[in-house]
Amino acid sequence: MTEDLLSFSFGNITLVLLVVALGIFLWLTARSKSTRGFQFQISLFIVIWILAEMVDLIGEKGVTPFLPSNEIGMYIHVLAMITFSSILWIRFYLAKKSGKKLAETVEES
């Protein structure tokens, strides 16, 4: 009984913290000046990731009957990883195409 109560309260704390983090990153995403900016892109990735964590947590608790399985959170995580990979590859491609120097480039003296 005590274990169930402790597990339930930690699950609720986690959900509250995820909602707070979601609010912060939604605010950062909305505050970004341009969708091409790194702040917007990384904030969008983190928002998707937080949503996946929330769906996963809610699915584990069995709170919502419309989630048939716990795999939906995993699929949203995959979407977040695809978003993150796309951001990095597109930024890399555009930097190379424009001829910008990359930070990893070593200059010889």
- pTM, entire model: 0.71
pLDDT tens digits along 62-90: 666 666 666 788 888 899 999 999 999 99
pLDDT at 55: 85
**Burial grade of 26 (CB within 10 A; 0-12, 13-18, 19 or more):** middle
Phi/psi at 68 (5° precision) = -70, -25
* Sequence spans of domains, the chain: 2-98
Which range among 35-44, 69-78, 80-89, 94-103 has the greatest average pLDDT?
80-89
**Percentage of residues in the chain having pLDDT higher than 70:** 73
Q: How confident is the model at residue 33 (pLDDT cuts 50, 70, 90)?
A: confident
